[in-house]
Structure 1
Amino acid sequence: MPQQYPFSAVVGSDDPDGMALALILTTVSPEIGGVLVRGEKGTAKSTIVRALAAVLPPIDVVAGDRFSSDPRDPAPLSPDGPFGADAATETRAVRLVELPVGATEDRVLGSLHLERALSEGKAEYEPGLLARAHRGILYVDEVNLLHDHLVDLLLDAAAMGRSTVERDGVSVEHAARFVLVGTMNPEEGELRPQLLDRFGLTVEVAAPRDPAQRVEVVRRRMAYDADPDGFAASYAADERALTARIEAAQARVAEVELSEEMLLRIAELCAACEVDGMRADIVTARTAVAHAAWHGRTAVTTEDIRAAALLALPHRRRRNPFDAPGLDESLLDDVLGEDEPEPDPDPEPPGGVQADSEGDGGFETGASAPSSTTGNDSAGAPSSTTDKPGATYRPQLFTVRGVGAGEAGRRSRAVTENGRRIGSRAGTSGALHLTETVRAAAPYQRLRGRTAGRLLLRAEDLRVATREGQESNLVLFCVDASGSMAARRRMEQVKAAILSLLLDAYQRRDKVGLVTFRGSDADLALPPTYSVDIAAARLEVLPAGGRTPLAEGLLEAARVLELERVRDPRRRPLLVVVTDGRATSGASAVERSRQAAGLLARAGVASLVVDCESGAMRLGLASVLAEHLGAEHVPIAEVSAEALTTAVRGRAA
Structure 2
Amino acid sequence: MHVYPFSAVVGSDDLALALTLCAVSPEIGGVLVRGEKGTAKSTMVRAQAALLPQVDEVEGCRFACDPRSVDPACPDGPHPTNAPVRRRPARLVELPVGATEDRVTGSLHLQKALSAGTAEYEPGLLALAHRGVLYVDEVNLLHDHLVDLLLDAAAMGRSTVERDGVSVTHAARFVLVGTMNPEEGELRPQLLDRFGLTVDVAAPRDPQLRAEIIRRRLAFDADPAAFTAQWADAEAALSERIVDARHRMPQVQLGDAALVAIAEVCAAFDVDGMRADLVTAKTAVAHAAWEGRGEVTRGDIAVAAKLALPHRRRRNPFDSPGMDEDLLDELLGNTAPDEDPDGGPDGDGPDGGGAPDPSGPAGGEADSASPETEPEQKSAPAPTAVSAPGDPYRTRLFTADRTGRGAPGRRSRARTTTGRTVGERRGDTGPIHLPATIRANALSHSVGQQAGPGGLRELRRRVIEGREANLVLLCVDASGSMAAKQRMTQVKTAILSLLLDAYRRRDTVGLVTFRGTTASLTLPPTSSVDVAAARLRDLPAGGRTPLAEGLIESAETVRRHRLRDPDRRALLVVVTDGRATSGENAVNRALAAADVVAEQRISAVVVDSETGRFRMGLAGRLAERLGAEYMQVGDIHADALTGIVRGRAA
TM-based fold match above 0.5: yes
**What residue number does 1:109 align with?**
105
Aligned residue for 2:425? 425
Equivalent position of 1:625 in the other structure: 622
* 1:454 match: none
**Aligned residue type for 2:542:** G
What secondary structure does 2:385 align onto? coil
What is the rounded CA distance, in whole Å, between the counterparts of 2:564 and 2:465 in structure 1?
A: 24
The answer on 1:563 being equivalent to 2:585 is no
Cα distance in 2 for residues equivalent to 1:34 and 1:573: 37
The aligned residue for residue 499 of structure 1 is 496
- Residue 297 of structure 2 is aligned to residue 301 of structure 1: yes
Say which of 326, 330, 333 aligns to 1:330: 326
Which residue number corresponds to residue 585 of structure 2? 588
Q: Does 1:129 align with 2:125?
A: yes
Q: Distance in 2 between matches of 1:50 and 1:26?
A: 14
Letter aligned with residue 267 of structure 1? A
1:248 counterpart residue number:
244
Alignment correspondent of 2:393 = 393
Letter in 1 for 2:294: T
Q: CA deviation at 1:430?
A: 4.2
- Aligned match of 1:482 in 479, 483, 497? 479
Alpha-carbon distance, 1:543 to partner? 0.7
Alpha-carbon distance between aligned partners in 2 of 1:374 and 1:333, rounded to the nearest angstrom? 27
How far apart, in 1, do the equivalents of 2:612 and 2:567 lie? 41
Asked if residue 414 in structure 1 is aligned to residue 414 in structure 2, the reply is yes
Report whether the alignment pairs 1:10 with 2:6. no
State whether residues 321 and 358 of structure 2, in contact with CA within 8 Å, keep that contact through their aligned partners in structure 1: no
CA 128–75 in structure 1, closer or farther in 2 if over 3 Å, else same: closer
> Match for residue 551 of structure 2?
554
Letter in 1 for 2:587: V
Sort the Cα spacing of 1:475 and 1:370 in 2 relative to 1 into closer, same or farther, 3 A: farther
Aligned mate of 2:523, from 523, 526, 532:
526
Residue 446, structure 1, aligned to residue 446, structure 2? yes
1:80-127 deviations in whole A, cap 9, x for unaligned? 223334433332222111111112222211112222222222111111
Specify the alignment match of 1:94 in structure 2. 90
Q: Is the 8 A contact 1:292 1:301 kept in 2?
A: yes
What's 1:357 paired with?
none
Q: 1:39, 1:369 within 8 Å by CA — same for their partners in 2?
A: no
Superposition pairs of residues 39-188 of structure 1, within 5 angstroms: 39-75=35-71, 77-188=73-184
Q: TM-score, normalised by structure 1?
A: 0.88
Aligned: 1:612 with 2:609: yes
CA distance in 2, matches of 1:51, 1:307: 23
> What is the rounded CA distance, in whole Å, between the counterparts of 1:526 and 1:89 in structure 2?
57
Q: Which residue number in structure 2 is paired with residue 265 of structure 1?
A: 261
Displacement of 1:343 after TM fit? 9.6
Distance 1:492 1:464, change over 3 A: same
Alpha-carbon contact 2:499-2:529 (below 8 Å) kept: yes
Q: Determine helix, strand or coil for the equivalent of 2:150.
A: helix
Contact 2:298 2:332 in 1 (8 A): yes
Q: Which residue of 2 aligns with 1:286?
A: 282
Q: Report what 1:217 is aligned to.
A: 213
Q: TM-score, normalised by structure 2?
A: 0.89
Tell me if structure 1 keeps the 8 A contact 2:395–2:642. no
User: How large is the RMSD of aligned CA atoms in angstroms?
Assistant: 3.0
* Change in 2 beyond 3 A, CA 1:101/1:418: closer
Aligned partner of 2:405 in structure 1 is 405
Distance 2:96 2:355 in 1: 25
Offset from partner CA, 1:568-624 (integer Å, 9 cap, x none): 233222222111222221233233323332222222222222222222222222222
Q: Does 2:310 match 1:314?
A: yes
- Residues 1:267 and 1:460: Cα distance change in structure 2 (over 3 Å): farther
Choose the corresponding residue for 1:276, options 267, 272, 277: 272
Tell me, in whole angstroms, the C-alpha distance in 2 between the residues paired with 1:102 and 1:123.
26
Residues paired across the two proteins, number: 623
Gap change, CA 1:54 and 1:439, over 3 Å in 2: closer
Q: Distance in 2 between matches of 1:552 and 1:577?
A: 12
User: For structure 1, which runs of at least 5 residues remain unmatched after alignment?
Assistant: 354-363, 451-456, 648-653
Q: Structure 1, residues 160-181: CA drift from partner, whole Å, max 9, x if none?
A: 3221111221111111111100
Cα 1:365–1:65 change in 2 (3 A) is farther
1:290 Cα offset (Å): 0.9
Change (3 A) 1:444 1:254: same
Q: Quick check: 1:400–1:606 contact (8 Å CA) kept in 2? A: no
Query: Contact 1:399–1:574 at 8 Å: present in 2 too?
Result: no
Question: Contact 2:17–2:345 (CA<8 Å) still a contact in 1?
Answer: no
The DSSP-based 3-state class of the residue aligned with 1:55 is: coil
Shift of 1:493: 1.3
CA contact (8 A) 1:8 1:352 kept: no
Q: Is the 8 A contact 1:101 1:143 kept in 2?
A: yes
Amino acid at match of 1:384: T
Identical aligned residues as a percent: 63
Of 96-105 and 144-153, deviating more is 144-153
Q: Give the Cα–Cα distance (whole angstroms) in 2 for the partners of residues 449 and 498 of structure 1.
A: 60
Equivalent residues of 1:513, 1:529 under 8 A apart: yes
Residue 556 of structure 1: CA displacement? 1.6
Name the amino acid aligned to 1:168: D
* Aligned counterparts of 2:339 and 2:628: Cα–Cα separation in 1: 71
Amino acid at match of 1:425: R
How far, CA to CA, are the matches of 2:643 and 2:563 in structure 1? 41
For 2:622 and 2:456, the matched residues in 1 are separated by 53
In structure 1, the residue matched to 2:506 is 509
Q: Deviations over 1:474-533 (max 9, x none)?
A: 211111111221223211111111111111111111111111111111111112222111
Shift of 1:153: 2.2
CA distance in 2, matches of 1:350, 1:8: 11
The CA distance in 2 between the partners of 1:401 and 1:344, in whole Å, is: 59
For 1:329-408, list aligned pairs within 5 A. Answer: 329-339=325-335, 342=338, 349=346, 368=358, 370=360, 381-408=381-408
